[in-house]
A and B are shown apart, each in its own frame.
Chain A
């Protein structure tokens, strides 16, 4: 099946710094990718839709300036958490659709100290 990777798998950073998370579709192209946030014992919450060549579409309540999304190519989308704070600590997951199915990355664990 199709493979989606994320890097890094986990990151620890200091409060106030920015962190970039990469999502790559390894064996297919994706004009659209999705970014989710997963809290402990909670569901995945869609944060935004990343669109290749245009601006991302953010879900209601998600701060655009806080979570910067760039879809640089047909195989790469990045999520940058700017000026991270402890409340941004979470598990971030991306997905990419291929032939009517969503393929998910393994996730990135962000811990902000």
Chain B
């Protein structure tokens, strides 16, 4: 079945460091890919998404490119801030599932940014 695999955390960085959180997926066809962020005490929020191969999603300085050839959707940010400390989830929605909205999540990666 479809699945998402993220790099294990926690990831601890100093402020202004470069961030990469790896995400790979297994799915047939062309799923839509998402990154969600969960700040402490809050619900998941959509950070960015990409719906077709080679699309780049971006938001708040974060970027991720849909790579069909490597089945990856790695999250990057050039300069992290303390306020970016949160749990990040990679997720996919199988092709043809937009009407159901069913998401399959990776295990989440905790990011801690130190001043």
Contact = CB atoms under 8 A, between A and B. Distances in A.
Contact of A106 (B4, B42, B98, B102): B42
B43 A104 contact: yes
Interface in A1-51: 4, 32, 34, 36, 41-46, 49
Interface residues of B, number: 19
User: Interface extent on A, as a size class?
Assistant: 20 to 34
A32 B101 contact: yes
Secondary structure class of chain A's binding surface, majority of residues: strand
Contacts of A32: 100-101
Nearest to B3: A43
Interface string B26-46: 000000000010000111111
Contacts of A43: 4, 89, 105-108
B111 to A, nearest CB: 14
A46 B102 contact: yes
B53 interface: no
B101 A106 contact: no
Contacts of A100: 98
Nearest to A6: B43
Contacts of B103: 34, 44, 46, 95, 102
Nearest to A4: B43
Given A32-B100, A43-B89, A49-B100, A104 B105 contact: no
Contacts of B46: 101-102
Nearest to A98: B101
B100 A44 contact: no
7 A-B pairs closest in CB distance: A104-B43, A104-B44, A97-B101, A43-B107, A106-B43, A43-B105, A44-B105
11 contacts: A4-B43, A34-B102, A34-B103, A42-B107, A43-B89, A43-B108, A44-B89, A93-B44, A100-B98, A104-B43, A106-B42
